[in-house]
Amino acid sequence: MRTVSAPPSAASLIESMRDLGYSLETALADVIDNSITARASQIEIFANTSSADVTICILDNGEGLAEEQLYEAMRPGSQSPTEQRGASDLGRFGLGLKTASFSQCRRLTFVSRRDGETCAAIWDLDQVRDADDWLLEVPDTLDDVPLIDRLGPQGSLIVWQKMDRLTERRDAKGQSADNSHVVQQVDAAREHLELVFHRFLSGEHGLKKIRISLNNRPLEPFDPFHASHPATKAGPVEKVQVAGEIVTVQTFTLPHHSNVDSAEWERYAGRGGYLRNQGFYVYRARRLIIHGTWFGLTRQAELTKLARVRIDMPNGLDEKWKIDVKKASAQPPKQVKERLREIIDPICATSKRVYTKRGAVLITSDQVPLWLRVQERGEIKYRLNPEHPVVAELAGQLPEDSRAALLRVLELASAALPLDALLSDLSGEPDKVGSCDVSDPSLTHAVTTTVEHFREVGLNNEDIRDALRFAEPFRSNWNRVETLLNAIMGECDDV
């Protein structure tokens, strides 16, 4: 047997490295990982979107690299994913800086300063393509490097130029289109970074607080669990052992929209909305890598949209979790998946109760709902209740043929419940979905008739108040209902 050397074509491979699926926001996050690993306390991102030649710079005050270290860092595959890393190291394959940068630009400049010494290297994809060789440029001068004057006594500067992917839109004449879409992507990147690095931005216990800014505007940490809100329901922290490492799991149920203002509700919905953002949030060394998934263990549903589960894994379990190059995909190992399967039902049930307790189906003699929630052959259906006191009173006053006609109308109304429209509206803007107003005469009649029914089944005044307080339409009109109850019950007490 003999072997032959078969090195890949530099021109072909470096172009292929551009298409690993990065977006602007995930590429920026990957570069920021390096700054955090270098113990930077301040990271500044500058996006020049005012000209056709869009340039993005990432500047940090981290430890910086010596010349040979910088050349090694610019080499694709500079560190094996099987090598043991420090607990705070956010790297994985030794590819992130290069693949993330190449996905956005054709010219990557890396300048670093350490112990008063400055070094730099440049990957220019056009030169690599033309020469079909891995030729790393070492510049003689740094005078033309953007923001070089902002580099401090130690730290690093990453510069992306020739950003063909971000500026590839053209108008009908083949000229560069305006940069409005670039600005939109930069704004989206801000939101993404505020989520991915929120624990570093807030400086939670055990982490040094890091300041990250975009065009001189500080990023604000966005906690997807809204843990500081008093209406958020947080479960206990659980620990699962995997290959000698500890994975921690904690459940959260976000507040119902009635417990937060409209701005909070919109913010915590996220770009995908509550429905798509429910599920597991996986953190690797406290950096968010994947969110908004149940890993196939259950389906995303309207009534569970407030359920979110935080999972913390150490970077020593990368192989077990099948972390990809972009650190944007993962699969839990068997031990973790089994435990997650066990906690899904309880956490989803808590989320459902946030909704169902507000429109609870009350089917006992002392609590009669206008709408019945019925389970038939594995399906849940809603129908108007013909035994509701107001409906029953009217039916009792009608002749038999008219009573049958009334029941047919109720049946038709139940069958025509616009479930698709309701689901769509509740998924999009639940705070703007409500019931119709009820007039004073109708509400008075409903209260009086219902109170009479409850008294006939033996309820006292306190039980009657409790029953009406949690049933519609009384709950939504409680101030008016309470006034009516005081009058009705006061009259009875006087007799």
pLDDT in tens, 400-415: 778 788 888 888 888 8
**Is 273 exposed, middle or buried, given 0-12, 13-18 or 19+ CB atoms closer than 10 A?**
middle
Residue 177 has pLDDT above 70, yes or no: no
pLDDT tens figures, 225-277: 999 999 999 988 888 888 788 889 999 999 988 888 888 998 999 888 888 89
Position 415 in a domain: yes
* Range of the structural domain that residue 315 is part of: 233-356
Q: Is the pLDDT of residue 5 over 90?
A: no
Residue 335, helix vs strand vs coil: helix
202 plus 287 within the same structural domain: no
Same domain, 201 and 107: yes
Q: Which of 373, 374, 364 is nearest to 454 (CA)?
A: 364
Instruction: State whether 116 and 255 are in the same domain.
Output: no
Q: How far is CA 461 from the centre of its chain?
A: 46
Residue with token string 């570093």: 200
Structure tokens at 228: 């500081």
Task: Measure the CA–CA gap between 414 and 438, rounded to whole angstroms.
Answer: 20
Same domain, 248 and 193: no
Choice among 119-123, 149-153, 365-369 with the minimum mean pLDDT: 365-369
Please choose, from the candidates 223, 171, 212, 174, the residue with its C-alpha nearest in 3D space to the C-alpha of residue 32.
Answer: 212
Average pLDDT for 361-372: 57
Q: Give the best-scoring range by mean pLDDT among 12-16, 208-212, 257-261, 372-376.
A: 208-212
Lowest mean pLDDT among 89-93, 115-119, 160-164: 89-93
5 in any annotated domain: no
- CA 180 to chain CA centroid, nearest Å: 25
For tokens 């409790």, name the residue: 466
pLDDT at 193 over 80: yes
- Write the DSSP symbol of residue 259: G
Residue 87, pLDDT > 60, answer no
Residue 494: what pLDDT? 46
Return d(Cα 324, Cα 337) in angstroms, integer. Answer: 18
Does one domain contain both 212 and 329? no
Number of neighbouring beta carbons within 10 Å of residue 75: 15
Q: How many domains does the chain fold into?
A: 3
Q: Do 206 and 303 reside in the same domain of the chain?
A: no
Residue 182 resides in a domain: yes
pLDDT in tens, 62-77: 999 999 999 999 988 6
Burial class (CB in 10 A: 0-12, 13-18, 19+), 196: buried
**Residue 248 maps to a domain:** yes
pLDDT at 304 over 80: yes
Q: What is the mean pLDDT of the chain?
A: 83
Task: Tell whether 76 and 200 lie within a shared domain.
Answer: yes
By the 10 Å C-beta count (0-12 exposed, 13-18 middle, 19+ buried), 247 is classed as: buried
With tokens 């930069």, the residue in question is 186
- Has residue 165 got a pLDDT over 70? yes
When pLDDT is cut at 50, 70 and 90, the band that residue 132 belongs to is: very high
Give the strand pairing for 211-214 and 287-293. Answer: unpaired
Residue 383 in domain: yes
Number of residues that this document lists for the chain: 495
Judge whether 384 lies within some domain. yes
> Please, are residues 433 and 302 in contact by the beta-carbon 8 Å criterion?
no
Over residues 178-191, the pLDDT tens digits come to 678 888 999 999 99
